[in-house]
Amino acid sequence: MSKSGDHSRLNKLKNNVFSITDVVEIHLKYEKLESVSYSEGTNWKQLIASNFLDELETVIQSGPLWKFNPTCLNLFIKENVFSYDRKELEKSVHEEGRIRETEVDRNLSVYTLIYPIEVLLINVYDLDEKYIENSEHIVVNSLMGKIVL
């Protein structure tokens, strides 16, 4: 059950205290049930190359100004041109993300991805609340300084 009270992180982000261009640091966390064939990190490159990153793509491509998210600017601008490239995202997740595995049975495991992203606040408004509420770390970089939620 998700938090829906006035004290939820999403409500704090939407309370008009912050500017829509403030950068929100999120340690995005989500889980997905997959085959144990990716087990023990030996095949995590294959896991990352599968549909495992579809939710991450949805998050970083959410909102009207998603191309201006710092994460997107860092990953997808080459020679002063923005070009979305899933392979760059996969490489970044492999280098900066953390994947944990919890075995469910002999065929399936739950894989948890924790990956740091930076998005503009205006784009956070279009995210599903579960991504905000389940994240381990949310910090707003505003004119007032860094605000931890």
Closest by CA to 125, choosing from 6, 22, 2, is 22
Determine the average pLDDT of the residues in 23-52. 88
Longest dimension (CA), the chain: 51
Report the Cα 76 to chain-centroid distance in Å.
16
**Tell me, what's the pLDDT at 33?**
94
- Residue 129, pLDDT > 50, answer yes
Tell which residue, 99, 128, 102, has the closest CA to residue 115. Answer: 99
Residue with tokens 């990153």: 53
d(CA 68, CA 109): 35
List the domain boundaries for the chain: 27-126
Mean pLDDT computed over 51-67: 96
8 Å CB contact between 133 and 10 = yes
Residue identified by tokens 């924790």 is: 114
Give the single-character DSSP code of 70. Answer: H
Higher-confidence residue: 21 or 14? Answer: 21
> What are the DSSP E strand ranges found in the chain?
23-35, 77-78, 81-82, 98-103, 108-120, 138-142, 145-148
pLDDT tens-digit map of 69-81: 999 999 999 999 9
Structure tokens at 92: 């970044």
Burial class (CB within 10 angstroms; exposed 0-12, middle 13-18, buried 19+) of 45: middle
| pTM of the predicted model as reported, rounded to 2 decimal places | 0.88
Buried-exposed string 3-28: b where 16+ CB fall within 10 A, e elsewhere: eeeeebbbebbeeeebeeebbbbbbb
SS3 137: coil
Give the pLDDT of residue 4.
44
